[in-house]
Structure 1
Amino acid sequence: GAHLKPDRFGMLPVHDAVINNHPDIKDMLGKLELKTADDGMCYLPPEKVAALKEQVKHSDISLSAEELETKMTEVFSIIMKEGVLAAGSLWQEVQYYFMDLGLHPSYFKHFTSTQIARHIHCLLAATKVAQTTNSDYIHFEMEDDDSAFYLTTMEPEKVAIMDGKIAQYVSKFGTADGFSITFMKSEKPAMPEGKYQLGIFVVEKRAYADDGHKTEDMMDESDLKVVASAKFLEERSAEVQQYYQSLINEAMSGRNAVVKVLDPPAHMVEKVGAKMVQLAAYDVERSGKAYISEVNECFRSNDITPKRFYVDTFANGIIVYTCFFDPSSCTEDKLGQLAQTLRYVCHFKHNPKKSALVWDLVLKNLITPEHAIFLITAA
Structure 2
Amino acid sequence: MRHGSRMLAALLVVAAMGVAATPVAAQDTETLSVSFPSEDGSLTPYTFMTGYPLMMLVYDSLTWRDADGVAQPWLASSVRRGDGGRRVTVKLRDGIRWHDGRPLTAADVVFTYGYIGAYSHPRFTPQLRDIEFLTAPDARTVVFQLRRASLGFEDQPLADVPILPRHLWERRAAPPGLPVGSGPYRLVRHVVGKSYSFRANRAYFKGSPSAQELRVPIVTRESDAFSQLKQGSLDAVPVNLPAGAIRERTRRLEFAEGVSYSGTMLEFNLARAPFHSREARRAIARALRLDAIAGDKSGPGAMATAERGMLHPESAWSSRATLHRSDLPAARVAFVEQGIAPFTILASSGDGVRLEAARRVAKALRGVGGQVRVEA
TM-score (norm 2): 0.26
As a proportion of its length, which structure holds more strand? 2
TM-score (norm 1): 0.26
